């Protein structure tokens, strides 16, 4: 059950993110990128196998049993990925605002969209 919920969450986030990424407005693109990065972060955690009620800690002294604790490495990776993704999104927001100010439009190509 857990697996299906997580897989569905990743799938929905990826699908919405991809759709938004292909939109012509810069703000939609940035939201799409954020959704995609959430999906990727969930994906990284899921790649360390899903476990319930298992701490990512090995008890001192005892011989560690891999089945009893969850994999700590993906959790460390996802922290790094979140921090980097956050910083890049902030940077992209600044560029987005600069592009809006310099070109007078929020189209990704910096030109007015004739189609609409």
Partner 1 sequence: MTSWVDHLPVVPVVLPLMTGALLLLVDERRHTFKALISVVSLCLLLIAAFALIRSVDASQTHVYRLGNWPAPFGIVLVADRLAAMMVLLVAILGMAALLFSLARWDRAGPRMHALLQFLLMGLNGAFLTGDLFNLFVFFELFLAASYGLALHASGSARVRASLHYIVVNLVASLLFLIGVSLLYAVAGTLNMADLALRAAAIAPQDRALFEIGAAILAIAFLVKAGMWPLCFWLPSTYAAAAAPAAAMFAILSKVGIYAVLRIWLLLFGETSGASAGFGAAALVYGGLVTLAFGAIGVLASQHLTHVAGFSLLVSAGTLLAAIGAGQAAVTAAALYYLVVSTLGVSALYLLIELVERTRGPGADVLAVTAEEFGDAYAEPEPIEETGLAIPGAMAVLGLSFTACALLLAGLPPLPGFLAKFALLAALLGADSVAASAWVMLLLLTLAGLAAIIALGRAGVRIFWASHEPHIPRVRPIEIAPIALLLALCIALTLQAGAVMRYVRDAADTLHTPRAYIREVLPSR
Closer by beta carbon to partner 1, 59 or else 83: 83
- Distance between CA atoms of residues 33 and 18, nearest Å: 8
- Near partner 1 by CB under 8 A: residue from 5, 47, 54, 59: 47
Question: Which listed range, 1-9, 47-55, 57-65, lies at the site for partner 1 (CB under 8 A)?
Answer: 47-55
For partner 1, which is the closer residue by CB, 55 or 73?
A: 73
What is d(CA 39, CA 33) in angstroms, rounded to the nearest whole number? Answer: 10
Residue 107 phi, psi dihedral angles, 5° rounding: -75, 145
Of residues 52-81, those binding partner 1 (CB under 8 A): 73-74, 77, 80-81
Count of Cβ atoms closer than 10 Å to residue 77 Cβ: 15
DSSP 76-107: HHHHHHHHHHHHHHHHHHHHHHHHHHHHSS-B
Binding mask 4-43 for partner 1 (x = CB under 8 A): -----------------x----x--x---x--xx--x--x
DSSP state of 16: H
**Which parts of this chain interact with partner 1 (CB under 8 A)?**
21, 26, 29, 33, 36-37, 40, 43-44, 47-49, 73-74, 77, 80-81, 84, 87-88, 91-92, 95-96, 98-99, 102-103, 108-110
């Amino acid at each position: 059950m857990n697996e299906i919920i997580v897989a569905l969450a990743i799938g929905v986030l990826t699908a919405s993110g991809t759709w938004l990424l292909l939109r012509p407005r810069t703000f939609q693109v940035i939201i799409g990128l954020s959704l995609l990065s959430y999906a990727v972060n969930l994906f990284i955690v899921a790649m360390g196998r899903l476990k319930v009620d298992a701490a990512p800690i090995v008890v001192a002294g005892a011989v560690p049993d891999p089945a009893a604790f969850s994999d700590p490495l993906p959790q460390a990776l996802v922290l790094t990925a979140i921090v980097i993704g956050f910083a890049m999104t902030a940077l992209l927001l600044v560029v987005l605002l600069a592009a809006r100010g310099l070109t007078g439009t929020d189209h990704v190509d910096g030109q007015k969209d004739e189609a609409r």
